[in-house]
C-alpha cells in the first residue's frame, strides 16, 4: 500500500486556546500569574487574534487544506465582572465562528481552556461548588450566541492537568494547594462539565458535546519492580482515570475517597483525546508531593527541543485503544497532538508517525473522526512562555510575522489527500519512511 487513507468526512484541523493566541487578555488569572513573574514571559499580544489576525490565520488554515478548527472562548471577556456581560465580545466570537464557517472550516469551541476570570479567581474559583452554577450561566450565554454556527463543543480542556498543575505541582495559578483541594477542584470541574453538557443539549438538541482528556499511557521503569509497578498504577489512575470514570459511573474515585456526581453519568457524545507522550514511572522517596512516583522519559528518547515531549507514537494507538475499549462505539476526536520544535527538525516525523498510528487505529475499526494538530501558529505556552514553539507556522513575537515551516506543506498534503502517502513521507520525513512504509520484498 502506498497511501494510508482516512474515512470520508474526517476532520483535519489545528487547535488553539484563547489566552494563548488572542493577546491583551488582562482580566484573567493567567494575566495576574504573568504579572507576578510566575511565567517565563508575558503573553502580550500573543498572536493578536483579538486584534483581528485570526482572519489571516484562518486563511492560512483553509489554503493549506484544513477543514476544522478548535478554538476557545475567554470567559473573562464575556463576563468581565460578576454582574456584567460584554455583548461586543460575544459579537466578536460570533464573527470568528462565522468567519470559519464561511471559509468551510468546521468550528469546534472549547468553553474552558485553563483560564478563569480574575473575579472568579479571587473567590477561589473551582475550589468552590458555587462556581458550577456560574459556569453554567456563562455556557448558556455563549451557546445561545454561537449556536447558529457551532454544534461541536468541548466543555473543559484537560481537567486533570488543570487540577494537578494548579493545586499539586504549582505551575498554574491556584488559590489553595494540596491533594485534597485538587480532588475538590476535579469534582467541581466534573459537575461543571455535566451542567454544561445538559444546558447545551437543552439549547441545541443536535449538539455534540465532550471534553478534552489529556491521556498519558504509563509504563513502570522496571517491570520486575513491584514498587515501580505500584507507583505506575497509582499515577496512572490519578492522572488518567478519575475524570473519565466519573463520567462512566457518576462517581469519582480517589485515594482520599469517593465522590458521587450522578448527573455526570453518560455526559459525552465523543471523547476528545489530547495525546503528546508516554511516561515512565519510578518509585522515588523524594517525590512525596506526587505520592512517591517520579514520571520521566528514558534518556535515549527521541526528545523535543526542551525535552518536554518524547516522540512515542505507539502511545497514540494505545490511548485510542483504551478509549475504544472503555467506551465502545463512542466517537473519538484527537483534539490535540503536536510537538515543540522551532527548527521543524522533529515535527515532520512526529506528524508522520502519529498519523500513521491514528490510521492504524482507524483501520482496526476504532471510531476516530478527526485530528486537530497543536498548533496552527506558535503561541503562548503557559508557564513556559515563548520557550516552546508548537506551531506549523512559526511566530516572530516582536513583529507578528508568520514563518512557514516545512510542516505546513506536509500537513497540507495530508489534509488535501485525506491520507498520508509514501511519497509525502519520503519527501518530508525520510528518516522514518522504513518504519511507516516498510519495503517488503516478496
Ligand atoms: C496542552 C494544553 C495546550 C498546550 C499544549 C502544548 O496540555 O491543552 O493548551 O499548551 O499542552
CATH of the domain at 379: 3.20.20.80
> Three cell numbers at 329?
462505539
Q: How many Cα atoms occupy the beta-carbon half-sphere of 227 within 13 Å?
A: 8
Model pLDDT, residue 356: 98
Q: Which atom of ligand 1 has the smallest separation from the CA of 20?
A: 9
407 pLDDT band (50/70/90 cuts)? very high
Centre of ligand 1 to C-alpha 166, Å, is 14
Residue 302 belongs to a domain: no
Q: What three-state secondary structure class fits 345?
A: coil
What are the tens digits of pLDDT across the range 62-85? 999 999 999 999 999 999 999 999
Whole-angstrom distance, CA of residue 99 vs CA of residue 149? 10
pLDDT interval class at 441 (50, 70, 90)? low
Q: How many CB atoms lie within 10 A of CB 277?
A: 20
**341 pocket-lining for ligand 1 (C-beta < 6 Å):** no
pLDDT in tens, 317-365: 999 999 999 999 999 999 999 999 999 999 999 999 999 999 999 999 9
Taking the CA of residue 158 as reference, the ligand 1 atom at the shortest distance is 8
**352 falls within a domain:** yes
Q: How far is the CA of 389 from the centre of ligand 1 (A)?
A: 12
> Over pLDDT 70: what percentage of the chain?
100
Asked whether residue 402 is domain-assigned, the answer is: yes
Does residue 377 surpass a pLDDT of 70? yes
The Cα 116–Cα 104 span in angstroms is 31
**CA 200 to centroid of ligand 1, rounded, Å:** 24
214 lines ligand 1 (CB under 6 A): yes
pLDDT digits (tens, 9 = 90+) for 251-293: 999 878 899 999 999 999 999 999 999 999 999 999 887 778 9
| Residues 150/209, Cβ–Cβ less than 8 Å | no
Pocket test for ligand 1, best of 15, 306, 374, 380 (most atoms within 8 A of CB): 374
Instruction: Determine, yes or no, domain membership for 441.
Output: no
Domain count, the chain: 1
* Residue 189 CB burial class (10 angstroms; 0-12, 13-18, ≥19): buried
Find out whether 13 and 97 touch, Cβ atoms under 8 Å: no
Q: Write phi, then psi, for 260 (nearest 5 degrees).
A: -95, 125
What residues make up the domain containing 353?
Answer: 3-220+235-278+307-436
Q: How far is Cα 433 from Cα 141, in angstroms, rounded to an integer?
A: 49
Mean local confidence (pLDDT), 25-38: 98
Residue 216 Cβ inside 6 Å of ligand 1? The answer reads no
Q: State how far Cα 156 lies from the chain centre.
A: 9
Ligand 1 atom closest to the CA of 381, numbered from 1: 10
For cell 480517589, the residue is 254
State whether the beta carbon of 157 lies less than 6 angstroms from ligand 1: yes
pLDDT, position 419: 98
Residue 390 lies in a domain: yes
Helix (H) or strand (E) holding 120: helix 118-122
Comparing CA positions, the residue from 81, 149, 88 lying closest to residue 119 is 81
Grid look-up 480574575 returns 118
Is residue 76, in this structure, part of any structural domain at all?
A: yes
- CA–CA gap between residue 94 and residue 271 (Å, rounded): 25
Q: Using most ligand atoms within 8 A of CB, pick from 381, 383, 388, 392 the residue to mutate for ligand 1.
A: 381
Distance from residue 21's CA to the centre of ligand 1 (Å): 12
Close Cβ partners of 342 (under 8 Å, ≥ 6 residues apart): 305, 378, 389, 394
For ligand 1, whether the C-beta of 390 sits within 6 Å is: yes
Q: What pLDDT sits at residue 442?
A: 60
In this structure, what DSSP letter does residue 6 have? P
Question: pLDDT at position 360, please?
Answer: 98
Determine the residue of 70, 274, 375, 386 to mutate for testing ligand 1's pocket, defined as the one with the most ligand atoms within 8 A of the Cβ atom.
274
Examine residue 228 and state whether it is found in any structural domain, yes or no: no
In a domain, 185, yes or no: yes
Query: What's the whole-model pTM score?
Result: 0.98
Amino acid at each position: 500500500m502506498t497511501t494510508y487513507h482516512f474515512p470520508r468526512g474526517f476532520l483535519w484541523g489545528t487547535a488553539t486556546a484563547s489566552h494563548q493566541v488572542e493577546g491583551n487578555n488582562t482580566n484573567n488569572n493567567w494575566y495576574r500569574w504573568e504579572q507576578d513573574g510566575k511565567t517565563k514571559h508575558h503573553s502580550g499580544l500573543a498572536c493578536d487574534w483579538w486584534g483581528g489576525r485570526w482572519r489571516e490565520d484562518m486563511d492560512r488554515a483553509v489554503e493549506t487544506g484544513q477543514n476544522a478548527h478548535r478554538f476557545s472562548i475567554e470567559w473573562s471577556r464575556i463576563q468581565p465582572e460578576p454582574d456584567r456581560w460584554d455583548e461586543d465580545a460575544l459579537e466578536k466570537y460570533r464573527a470568528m465562528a462565522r468567519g470559519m464557517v464561511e471559509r468551510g472550516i468546521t468550528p469546534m469551541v472549547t468553553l474552558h481552556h485553563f483560564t478563569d476570570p480574575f473575579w472568579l479567581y479571587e473567590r477561589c474559583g473551582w475550589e468552590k461548588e458555587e462556581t458550577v452554577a456560574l459556569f453554567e450561566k456563562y455556557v448558556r450565554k455563549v451557546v445561545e450566541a454561537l449556536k447558529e454556527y457551532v454544534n461541536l463543543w468541548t466543555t473543559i480542556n484537560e481537567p486533570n492537568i488543570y487540577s494537578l498543575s494548579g493545586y499539586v505541582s504549582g505551575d498554574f495559578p491556584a488559590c489553595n494547594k494540596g491533594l485534597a483541594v485538587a480532588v475538590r477542584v476535579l469534582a467541581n470541574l466534573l459537575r461543571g462539565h455535566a451542567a454544561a453538557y445538559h444546558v447545551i443539549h437543552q439549547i441545541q438538541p443536535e449538539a455534540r458535546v465532550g471534553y478534552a482528556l489529556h491521556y498519558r499511557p504509563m509504563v513502570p521503569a522496571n517491570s520486575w519492580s513491584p514498587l515501580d509497578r505500584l507507583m505506575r498504577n497509582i499515577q496512572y489512575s490519578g492522572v488518567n482515570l478519575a475524570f473519565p470514570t466519573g463520567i462512566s459511573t457518576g462517581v469519582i474515585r480517589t485515594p482520599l475517597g469517593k465522590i458521587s456526581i450522578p448527573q455526570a453519568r453518560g455526559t459525552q457524545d465523543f471523547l476528545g483525546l489530547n495525546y503528546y507522550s508516554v511516561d515512565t514511572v519510578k518509585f522515588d522517596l523524594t517525590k512525596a508531593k506526587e505520592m512517591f512516583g517520579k514520571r520521566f522519559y528514558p534518556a535515549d528518547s527521541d526528545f523535543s527541543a526542551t525535552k518536554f515531549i518524547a516522540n512515542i507514537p505507539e502511545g497514540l494507538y494505545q490511548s485510542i485503544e483504551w478509549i475504544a475499549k472503555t467506551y465502545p462505539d463512542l466517537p473519538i476526536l484527537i483534539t490535540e497532538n503536536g510537538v515543540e520544535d522551532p527548527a521543524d527538525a522533529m515535527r515532520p516525523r512526529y506528524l508522520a508517525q502519529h498519523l500513521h498510528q491514528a490510521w492504524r487505529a482507524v483501520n482496526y475499526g476504532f471510531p476516530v473522526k478527526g485530528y486537530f494538530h497543536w498548533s496552527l501558529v506558535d503561541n503562548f505556552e503557559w508557564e513556559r512562555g515563548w520557550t516552546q514553539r508548537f506551531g506549523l507556522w512559526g511566530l516572530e513575537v516582536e513583529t507578528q510575522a508568520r514563518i512557514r515551516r516545512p510542516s505546513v506543506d506536509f500537513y497540507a498534503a495530508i489534509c488535501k489527500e485525506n491520507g498520508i502517502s509514501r511519497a509525502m513521507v519520503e519527501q518530508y520525513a525520510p528518516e522514518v519512511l522504513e518504519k511507516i512504509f516498510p519495503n517488503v520484498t516478496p
